[in-house]
Amino acid sequence: MSDRLFIFDTTLRDGEQVPGCQLNTVEKIQVAKQLEILGVDVIEAGFPISSPGDFNSVIEISKAVTWPTICALTRAVQKDIDVAADALREAKHKRIHTGIGTSDPHIKYKFNSNREEIIERAVAAVKYAKRYVEDVEFYAEDAGRTENEYLARVVEAVVKAGATVVNIPDTTGYCLPQEYGEKIKYLMEHVDGLSAGKAILSTHCHNDLGMATANTMAGVLNGARQVEVTINGIGERAGNTSLEEVAMILKCHKGIGIDTNINTQKIYPTSRMVSSLMNMPVQPNKAIVGRNAFAHSSGIHQDGVLKNVQTYEIMNPKDVGIDDNAIVLTARSGRAALKHRLSVLGVEMDGERLDATYQEFLKLADKKKEVNDDDVLMLAGADRAAAHAVKLDYLQVTTGMGVKSVACIGLDIAGEKFEASASGNGPVDAAIKALKNIIKRQMVLKEFTIQAISKGSDDVGKVHMQVEYDGHVYYGFGANTDIVTASVEAYIDCINKFKK
Ligand code: KIV
Ligand code: ZN
């Protein structure tokens, strides 16, 4: 009989902490519903005390999903726990995730405390959270760099206090797989209550040295029965362990004898949805969900795969939801085909919203032969821009070899029309200078990334931008078949986010 591994998804908490990945409540609900379809056991929906937005999102996600446990993060502080319990009031299954740093650097520099006092605070927090919910998870922050003997004392104390899950985060992504595996093994062997099944251990690994998935698997092989993961591995700094990697490792290596509840065919649509809503591109060679993950380019590999896919493929792309036979959308595709494709990608649309998206789809399909999944998701997100106060009305740029680029731009600002022109060192420079002739603020372009075009010169180009204004950095995104327009749209996206 195989063992069950619980999947704790923290895309909406650790993942959403990444600068530029912030979602509004409606988008978070969309992701949460997709995570439910994917089959995750726990959704970490936010850190309610951190902002009214996070608080509200936890409430709304709690209402929107049924089966997964909804989890809210807190520090080991009573006020945090009160607010988290309040945010979870609508959840059908709820969990409070509380914790404190346990490594020497955390104890000394963060808390100016000592080991005994930290255990007391950990126990007090778990007991306090237990007044609100039965299911309490404790995290020992920086457990990766916490001495095992002391960590075992912390874990034993919080299990005694009522913790149902104890999270052993490798917060800094420092551990080697063997070291992390041995840590879990040590705890399994030395903590009363774990072997008796009073609580389970959870992994939470960061990818600073590229070892997050290896460390997670080492933890699982040594007894952890929950893994904390994110879609596409997004998360603080180099990210977290990616859900898709753990799920497919266990599916490919049946001999390990551990199952999850993940419907792996929903992996790809979920990955596309998260990437699109968070404007976070997936690296092309990313395991499982990258554009090249199943692309065989060398002649030898192609020859082998054509003879028999087993020569070079360890998993079937269909098992992760990549459907080669998916209907290709073109200018001749109807509204129903678009609705179906959106639904496969996890976006349900009807009525006026579908009509508006279909009109945009037709415009795009006129410009490019085939509309792919990225384009469809981009169109689905385009209606977010409709609510913006500043909108691009038109853009005309004259450019070429040996001449200065000149741009004329028209903006609609809260219903009022503005026009300006400028010349510059290239089409993007000219267009942004023209834009700045209307929006006269001290804005500095900090980062400008053009995402690789996947297929054909008619494809949609995607631009990610960071603009500094009034001491804050704002992240913007634009997508268009014209890369200069995409750049201006990304800049305007930043402007729309400025704090007034
Ligand atoms: O990485 C970490 O330690 C965390 C905790 C808050 C669980 O994200
Ligand atoms: Zn983390």
Between strands 6-9 and 42-46, the pairing is: parallel
Alpha-carbon distance 82 to 98, whole Å?
A: 11
Between strands 405-413 and 416-424, the pairing is: antiparallel
Alpha-carbon distance 248 to 267, whole Å?
A: 10
> E strands, 319-415, where?
390-398, 405-413
Whether residues 379 and 412 fall in one domain: no
* Domain-located, residue 143: yes
Most ligand 1 atoms within 8 A of CB, residue of 171, 180, 205 to mutate = 171
Q: Where are the alpha helices (DSSP H) in 65-114?
A: 78-87, 104-105
Whether residues 256 and 378 fall in one domain: no
> Does position 382 have pLDDT exceeding 70, yes or no?
no
Among candidates 272, 251, 270, 269, which has minimal Cα distance to 260? 251
Among candidates 34, 71, 461, 45, which has minimal Cα distance to 277? 34
Mean pLDDT, rounded, for 320-327 = 74
Looking at residue 119, its pLDDT comes to 98
Among 222, 246, 277, give the residue marking a domain's end. Answer: 277
pLDDT above 70 covers a percentage of the chain that reads: 95
> Does position 1 have pLDDT exceeding 80, yes or no?
no
* Domain-located, residue 83: yes
Integer-rounded Cα radius of gyration of the chain: 25
On whether the CB atoms of residues 465 and 493 are closer than 8 A, the answer is yes
> Does position 476 have pLDDT exceeding 80, yes or no?
yes
> Does position 346 have pLDDT exceeding 80, yes or no?
no
Question: Which residues, in sequence order, are CB contacts of 8 under 8 Å at separation 6+?
Answer: 40, 41, 42, 44, 71, 202, 226, 227, 228, 229
Q: What does residue 418 show for φ and ψ, rounded to 5 degrees?
A: -135, 145
* Domain-located, residue 324: yes
Whether residues 397 and 371 fall in one domain: no
Which of 163-172, 210-219, 455-464 comes out lowest in average pLDDT? 455-464
Domain boundaries, position 326: 299-383
Report the nearest-CA residue for atom 2 of ligand 1. 171
> Does position 11 have pLDDT exceeding 80, yes or no?
yes
Whether residues 149 and 39 fall in one domain: yes
Mean pLDDT, rounded, for 204-219 = 98
* Domain-located, residue 286: no
- The closest ligand to the CA of 75 turns out to be 1
Most ligand 1 atoms within 8 A of CB, residue of 75, 100, 141, 229 to mutate = 141
294 ligand 1 Cβ < 6 A: no
Whether residues 213 and 104 fall in one domain: yes
Whether residues 181 and 316 fall in one domain: no
Among candidates 379, 410, 375, which has minimal Cα distance to 492? 410
* Domain-located, residue 290: no
Looking at residue 454, its pLDDT comes to 58
Whether residues 264 and 305 fall in one domain: no
Q: Report the atom number in ligand 1 closest to the C-alpha of 169.
A: 3
Among candidates 74, 119, 117, 111, which has minimal Cα distance to 96? 74
On whether the CB atoms of residues 225 and 190 are closer than 8 A, the answer is no
Among 277, 310, 334, give the residue marking a domain's end. Answer: 277
The most distant pair of C-alpha atoms in the chain lies apart, rounded to whole Å, by 77
User: Which is more confidently placed, 369 or 11?
Assistant: 11
Report the nearest-CA residue for atom 8 of ligand 1. 14
For residue 373, what is the domain's CATH number?
Answer: 1.10.238
Q: Report the atom number in ligand 1 closest to the C-alpha of 97.
A: 7
> Does position 325 have pLDDT exceeding 60, yes or no?
no
For residue 91, what is the domain's CATH number?
Answer: 3.20.20.70
Question: Which residues, in sequence order, are CB contacts of 457 under 8 Å at separation 6+?
Answer: none
On whether the CB atoms of residues 111 and 100 are closer than 8 A, the answer is yes
8 ligand 1 Cβ < 6 A: no
What is the whole-number distance in angstroms between the Cα of residue 36 and the centre of ligand 2? 21
Whether residues 329 and 469 fall in one domain: no
Joined tokens for residue 204: 């939470």
- Domain count for the chain, please give it: 3
For residue 427, what is the domain's CATH number?
Answer: 3.30.160.270
Neighbour tally for 324: CB within 10 Å: 7
Among 211, 243, 277, give the residue marking a domain's end. Answer: 277
User: Which is more confidently placed, 327 or 283?
Assistant: 283
Whether residues 324 and 211 fall in one domain: no
Binning the chain into helix, strand and coil, the percentages to the nearest 5 are 45, 20, 35
16 ligand 1 Cβ < 6 A: no
Across the chain, mean pLDDT equals 91
Question: How crowded is the C-beta side of 304, counted as CA atoms within 13 Å?
Answer: 11
Mean pLDDT, rounded, for 141-168 = 98
Most ligand 1 atoms within 8 A of CB, residue of 16, 139, 174 to mutate = 139
Joined tokens for residue 358: 């279909």
* Domain-located, residue 315: yes
Whether residues 423 and 484 fall in one domain: yes
Whether residues 130 and 269 fall in one domain: yes
14 ligand 1 Cβ < 6 A: yes
* pLDDT digit string, tens, across residues 110-144: 999 999 999 999 999 999 999 999 999 999 999 99
36 ligand 1 Cβ < 6 A: no
* Domain-located, residue 328: yes
**Residue 324 confidence class, pLDDT cut points 50, 70, 90:** low
Whether residues 78 and 156 fall in one domain: yes
User: Which is more confidently placed, 414 or 311?
Assistant: 414
* pLDDT digit string, tens, across residues 261-283: 999 999 999 998 999 888 888 98
pTM confidence score: 0.82
Alpha-carbon distance 385 to 393, whole Å?
A: 13
* Domain-located, residue 169: yes
- DSSP-derived secondary structure letter, 155: H
**Residue 459 confidence class, pLDDT cut points 50, 70, 90:** confident
Beta bridge partners of 228: 8, 204
